[in-house]
Structure 1
Amino acid sequence: MNAFDLTGKLAVVTGARRGIGRAMARALAEAGADIIGVSANLEPSGSDVEKDVLAAGRTFEAIRTDFADPEAVRTLGADLAARERPVDILVNNAGTIRRAPAAQHTDADWELVLQVNLNAQFTLTRAVGGAMVARGQGKIIFTASLLSYQGGINVPGYTAAKHAITGLTKALANEWAPHGVNVNAIAPGYITTDNTQALQDDPLRSKAILDRIPAARWGNPDDLTGATVFLASNAATYIHGTTLPIDGGWLGR
């Protein structure tokens, strides 16, 4: 089991304040990694995710960055890439969603979702991943989606961004695998988070979703933690450019 040990590693988790990001940060800390948590509204101290990490015996640093602000993301990337202690693991989990039929989906919503879910991901990964390539090692994990495979309903911007994330995962893996950097993604299924609250609250949509999941339940953020630790660890050294669905069997239905 030593291949899964992350002791001494430094992991950056974006969107770490709650939900999937918080669960990922906690799991990485429990596996031995120190954590830098990044989120637009992350408390400077005393956050729930900080408490999780400290309870696991690891260190935590909070960075507040608005991923809708391209310059703020560039500044974050430059900061992380230039630090004396290098980033070993980058988890690109920050995201947002806007729901509206395509004919009413505004330019503002489209641009916001593409900026947060795709442009910011590339900007940050270019900086931190470039430093990993120079060192000859590193792990990068994107949060994709079931909508990396399917079209969804009323979420054209989100679907476009998540399709692009799977392509970006492959493109970066093609370039960086020879340099010892693993780039992979996790595609969560229907998980009980704020992003899916509208679906959970809709009796018809919620039932239709649940009826299709072979596991017969919605997922929860903790369902993603094992895969996160796995892809961040030496156990996944020969895995490159893969998107791993964690969906209760949805895609196999």
Structure 2
Amino acid sequence: MEVEHYAIFSNSKAGKGSALKLLPDFECFLTGKKITYEIFADSLPVTLTGFNCIVIMGGDGTINYVINHFKTIVIPIAFLRCGTGNDYNTLHLGSASHKEQFEIACSNHIVAVDAGTCNGKLFINGVGIGFDGWVVKRNLGKQIFSGQLAYLTTILSLLLFYKERFIYIETADKKMMADIFMLSFAKGKTYGGGFRVAPMAELTDGFLDFVAVKKIGLFNRLRYLPVIEKGKHLQLPFVHFEKAKHIKVTSNFLLQAHLDGEWMEGKEFDILVTPNAFKIKSIIKREK
């Protein structure tokens, strides 16, 4: 019988060092399962040849870093929730305790999930352009709050002064030109610590959920923020929603954006879905 051999990437900066604190317990668990492993702290190997699984200890930003390092990962990926932004890994782990997460990481329950690319860079949860790109930029380097609290406090500070930008958007079925408050292109339902920006998104349907929030006044920004948080916004008159496989976004303005919570900026964005991109050890069943 083949001995399983895991690669473990432990991000020492994730969750203010929580990955390193959890690592000894996971090592003991693997030893008990007779699974051998190699630990990579803050740097990754060139190849995953010889490993049966890669375990990512961190948050959504760590996941994004790993998938962009390798580009293609043919072995299963497992997550241990250790970061401050955990929207994507929570989709696969639910409310699992540490021990339950260890069990999931060593299980054979695997789901093939889609990913996407934006200007050639991979993402697995989603892309945000406009207002939420500014939120991520404003949070760069800030450690006072984390998760949803950091996202929410920055949102409230920006709502008063943020100005929509005129943006041209093209999909296979539609062309749109409008002053846009925010754009989302998602595989996961939530980001920002639980905001259900794309409540209809599915991890395995071969599409990106495209949500555009058009120009809205300050009163409606404040009024509908809780509505967006709960994912009840898709039928609002200033919201456009569709499923798409390829979207092009252009503007004369420099737009702030994020990929899986990692900040970027640009005037042009070429966004595509990549079906069945990764195999994830997960509690979920394949969506139909």
TM-score, length-scaled by structure 2: 0.30
* Structure ranking higher in helix proportion: 1
Highest CA radius of gyration, 1 or 2? 2
Q: Which has the higher contact order (CA 8 A, sep 6+)?
A: 2
TM-score (norm 1): 0.33
